[in-house]
Amino acid sequence: MCGSIPPSMSGTCGCIVNGHLYIFGGCCDDGQTNEHYSVNLHDGTFTWRKVNHRSGSPPSPRDKLSCWVHKGRMIYFGGYGHKLLSEINDPKSFTVDEASWAEDIFWGWNNETHEFDPDRSSWTEPQTSGRSPAPRAAHASATIGSKGYVCGGRIKETRTSDVFCLDLNSWTWSEIAAPSGRSWHTLTSVSDSSLFMFGGLSVDCRPLSEGWIFNLETKGWTRMEHQYKDKPRLWHSACQGRDSDVIVFGGSHDYILLVDKGHCNDALVFQTQPYPLIRLCEDFIASHARMFQFQILRLPPKLRRAVQKRTSFFRTNRKSRNLFKTLE
């Protein structure tokens, strides 16, 4: 990659809008930042550029924030960072970290909502109504339709167990109950009416491997059984895959502030919905490709390519399992 390459950072916030990857905030060697970068993922040059705003005021420097995308605009919420004393206008929107300050600069958690319009390169701070979430960082967020959801997070020494919904058209907050408190987890939309939450760090600083499904219609949480109970994760990333699968990658399986044995480099795939019949057929044929090698060649081109792609997946998995058995 080339251009104005961002510095190495942690806790930054990324999203994709119209084929461009945008990252905002994060913590680098000099501390939290409020710089904004973007890169076109489709032009083949992969050139980073620094995003400069034409109007409005950007959020103060922060990391461990979250982002929603709605109508081509980016909406950022929360995070941990620093402000000048003169910039702290409302103690309800900025909770000071009493252990971190220097002269007239104070660090802390916020519950601010900021919107960036990439077409106008403008920042605005919408005025929200309803009961807003408490200031927090290291929370999780997801978008379904015109609703943005924020779940859990840390404020001071507490990890919250609440879920809030922000209507991104009316800017109205509403609150929803959630399972036990956590931070550094993920929340992923898997259908028009459900969210999948995975992992995180518990209130007692224990890495979690729990998976939960939230039904927006019943407002109920269901604990999901899965095969990765021995693979806790925190500070990982997650995204929706094919047929409502959720792919989890990276992160740590330790409470990294005390012990860090290295980051995880494997991908965990969670099936959150029943697979359609064509997916089941493709998987069966691909996992028995040797048995169906001549029949596969007679399939229509589109279906043949899909089966061959799945075949390579099962072949790779088989090689990995054989390698692990050899190492054992």
Question: pLDDT under 50 in the chain at which residues?
Answer: 323-324
What's the pLDDT tens digit per position in 87-128? 998 889 999 998 888 888 999 999 999 999 999 999 999 999
Contact 113, 76 (CB under 8 A): yes
Q: What is the pLDDT of residue 73?
A: 97
Its pTM stands at: 0.89
Q: Which fold has domain 2-274?
A: Neuraminidase (2.120.10)
User: pLDDT value at position 221?
Assistant: 93
Q: Are 207 and 199 in contact (CB under 8 A)?
A: yes
Residue 46: CB atoms within 10 A of its CB come to: 13
What is the predicted pLDDT for the residue at 255? 81
**What pLDDT does 323 receive?**
47
Q: Where in the chain is the domain with CATH 2.120.10.80?
A: 2-274
Closest CA to 210 of 245, 177, 186, 191: 186
pLDDT of residue 324: 47
What is the Cα 191 distance to its own chain's centre?
Answer: 16
What are the Cα distances from residue 76, in Å, to 121, 126, 151, 199, 302? 15, 11, 14, 22, 40
Whether the Cβ atoms of residue 214 and residue 163 lie closer than 8 Å to each other = yes
